Structure 1
Amino acid sequence: MRLNRLRARYFLLLLVCVAVTLWAFKLLDSIAVDKVKFLKSGAEFLALSNAQQAFALYSQKRHPGETNIIPAGMTFEENYTPGNYSSEKHPWMFARPLSELEMNIVPNHVFFVWCDNRTFTFNDHLSVLSAWKLLEPDKLEIHSGTAINSDKYNQWFLELNQTIPALTVKFIQRNKSICLNPLYYALEVLDDRGGVYMDFSTVLLRPVHFLRRQDFSISLSNHGSVAIISSRIRCKNLQRVLMRTNEIHPNDVVTMLRESVTLVGVCPSVSKSPSVSISERIQQRLLCVTIQPPLALRPLDLRAVQFQSQDLSILRDLYYLDLGTGPSCVGKEGSKAESIPFIVHYVWFNRAELSFRMHLSFLSTIHVAKADRVFIHCDLYLSGPYWKTVSSHPRVTVVYREAPHEIYGHRVLYSQHRSDVVRADLLDKYGGVYVDWDVLWLHSPRDLLTAGHQAVVNFDHMSHAPFIDSLNLGVFLARPRARFVRLWRRELRNYRSLDFYYNALQLPYKVYERHPDTLYVEKRLQVMCFWLKCHPIFHPDHKNWMKAQPFDWRTDVYSIHFTHPDPEEFQSVVSLVNGTGTFADIGMFILNTAGELDGLSRL
């Protein structure tokens, strides 16, 4: 009898241990922790780069689990909700909706895989162009296992290099053999970096940013081939497919994908004469089409077709309607039809702890400038107690993006220049106010935003002979699709990788010289301080950088910009409250306006 009681106790104790263990695993799996050692998939997680680890954690925090946001089986028509475009049909002409920056778990990358030993044709050109104009991704990559050939007529690939600033060609080493199974390689890239994969036969007909809110999704042609795959980094469903792919024939990969992923629409195949198969055959609302041999499109074919489907007429506009032509949401300089949106963009790449000076900049943006919203575009390497405070602010949205390393095929060598590439992209698409992290607001620029200007900047205080002047874009106000931003971005085709000052100081001035009506120069927008000597542009001697020029920060300027170095007063809150002089007064003014002086006193 006693032995039976002991057995019962041991059995109950065993059940309790099992229950506690299961509860612990469930708890660890549900909490988005900051430490790799607590993750169930720790071994796989350690294989990621630091940036990929950060985005995987960020995605897990925003959307834990594997639940599809758009349930399987629902059609594209039922799920697709266009953004607040001025024109849904031509989104590259108008302001893109801010919703594209919010609640995404898939990075804004698009890539193709090139493995064909053939000429790059207009069909291929149209496919890449549709991805660029309808999605405008942060990066658009062609992973090439073979040479991309051109001839005297088919210069389409070279044209793309001069059209798309974000286009990068990655020539993969032959020993990687990506062309033995290009689809498997594409899945590996998606697993490693996340993003959207498109087949070269696929041409988008409308934006598909809604895919970036799903873990893993796919669109097929009506012949069953892959048209589009979208996935977040280290998606478990995708990893299950990759683990089984080595065991099956490459032709069966699509079948596996259909069993493991949300199917979002079908991209009908077009392979006949465009006058028949494009204009008459397909009439329903479409996400994309796949252009299959023997159909070989030419630009004039698109002009000759009388499109009966509004969806399919975009094929013509993708090629013929450029940013510099057709309708635009931007009016003439001085027109008060539209204000510059008061959204502030900060950009940061590489590992750093958010400093007290950067925290001051943020406080000045929120409490002095009184910005409506703040977007911080970064690779999620920022850290520290100030970062936790800033990133959790209700008006702040943190947007993941990889650091750019090329623009129009030119290498971006200086880390400081990466923000130049990104600010051109952000202001073009969304407009707003770009601000360097070393800028402190002293007055709100809201009056400038509503004055009817397309874009507002200030001259730089340094001499850059033989240039008469240059522009400093550390504070940059612009409407979406402002003509000056478009022109400057287009001129970055002549990007100089080794010239530190040319691309974002001297080149913008050249654009301003040729198109002065596209830009308003406000000499009080920012005062630049170099080696702790400040140089207000409205002072006649402002280019004498060896000597400070007088100004009243309380009344004369909108912001102050410390290019190098940071004042000692901004090293910490203790340094500030114990500091004296103009810089200390500015810092204390910001803290006081932000309501953060409670409990602080000068010691």
Structure 2
Amino acid sequence: MWAELFRSTSTRQNILRLAIVSLIAIVIAMMFISTPRRPIRMLPVANDVVGSTTFDFDSKEDGSTEDVIMKPEESQDDIPVVETRRSSSELSDAKLKDAQVVQLKYLWDKSANSSVQEEKLQEGYVTPNVHYMWCGQKWFEYRDYLGVVSVLRTIAPDKITIHYEYPPGVDKLHYHQWLDYLKHDYPYLEMKQMDEYLVRFCQGDRATQLQLILQVLNEEGGIYVSHTVWLLDFPAKKRAYDFEIALEPDSVDGYIVLRRGVLTSPNTTQDELLHDTSLKTDRSYCALVHHVFQGHTHGCLLVKGERFDHFYPMDIWELDNAFGKLARKIFYGTEEIRKPKPSYDELVPNIGHMVWIGGGKMDFVFYLSLLSMLYVVKVDVVYIHGDQPPSGSLWESIDSTPRIRDRVKLIRRTAPTQIYQGEIEPYYRALMSDLIRVDLMINYGGIYADTDAIWVKGLSYADRGYDAVASYDWVDWSWPYPDSVNFGLSYGKKNAPFWQLFRDTMRTLHNDIHGFTGVMNPYKILERYPHLLRIDRHLQVICYEEKCHPIWVNDYHNMSRDHTTDNSLYNWREDVNALHWTHPNPKALANETTLRHSTGLFADVGKLVMEAAGLW
């Protein structure tokens, strides 16, 4: 029979084809089994999950742990509060070469949270669906975001449902984007408006609220978590209970676990459930923030009261206590204080960049700015990027002076009119400059200065080891942003991760919000990746209406203060790298003649540059 089969050409071909297909299938299967799957990554947080999903503050010396249950009614005297302070300018931490490396794996993905995912595969456990109740018209803030992230880390839920009376709001300047991050990165977040029956939760007393929570959970089983709760340790065995409750005595702050169909009637109470001997039940408590400072936490933490109702990532960046470590563990995946760290295998290129869009006459401040790049910072060359060259006698003097002209290069560049399909209004030259600046840093690196900024001190070797450097802006026009970042003077290495992330955020433009793309949204990047951008408070002093605001003083946001009249700028030659006049140019720097006859800080700055350039 087999000989007959092989004597048939068509049969031999069919068998050969079958063998080849089978071999290919086996090879593909082996590759699929042996090749590690590349994890999906998310944007809002800064590094990979580290180790266990349990936040253990109760470790003993022998490595064992002890559950410490703290009841809410215990004393809250002498509770330390989060210190609201800005990050210092001395920054150092690990540098990451690839922007993708700093993005956290999806917290609910098996590769990122394998122990939790494996625990979910237990027959007879309560469905890991999480429910929140959201009442009133308010923003979804950072504390709320950390609460949901803690749930993702500890439970890895199949679904999260936020039942809302009013949709969580976003401020007009789009600072509180925390819910948008969750919507973008967590695929199973459901926003569900309360119906007329459930909305009674927002007006009812505790008994009514508890009854409604139980009814919601009873439909399919699940876990209720209040927006004030951070889950630090939530073993899957908790879902083996038919009913577990961990609420404050006078509110519904805490969590509840309920199995589907447990309620015998809509009016079943918590006491009836707890005393039902046919059910497996438990009663627990959530710790309060002051317990963290005492060195003890439970698996659930209530974060509320004092300054804990409203705080920002900047409040935990360098907060070197138990709460700071805990918050960083949830947000960044590590307790470590994350700061930029210099690397000297590659330095910031010693080239200068300026942007000149729309052409026009070079004024004296622009002239001094260019000279300061050449003779104070001592860059090798300054590239002026723009669609038209400067004009006027000062530009002509540069062109007629070989030692200056040979180190100044005009690079023709069309003004951008859109980015990522987003249209840029033709009047918005500041935004055009922002786009070009980021592109320059990605492609070339170097040292950038606006044409109204004058350097008075160059960069050190230590400075040039950082990937990306800028300073805070002084203006207080961007509330609720805690700060904003000014790149009018900035420098960095080619293709550093921060510049890549910066450009990626430009997929969303708000032409109607001045400074959103260039100074506000970069601050949001800094919140998530504080180790990628060095904030140097002494890089520049910004002056507006001839009042100057050094970022290193406490009240630098106070626009009525003029720090040229106190001792803040007494040692300006050593304390700052540059002065930056955003509006208007100082009278002392109107022209060379005026400068010669002027005195004071601004005149001294101009004279320093003219002398450094050898023109006086």
Q: TM-score range by the shorter chain?
A: 0.3 to 0.5
TM-score, scaled to structure 2: 0.42
Q: Which has the larger radius of gyration?
A: 2
TM-score, scaled to structure 1: 0.43
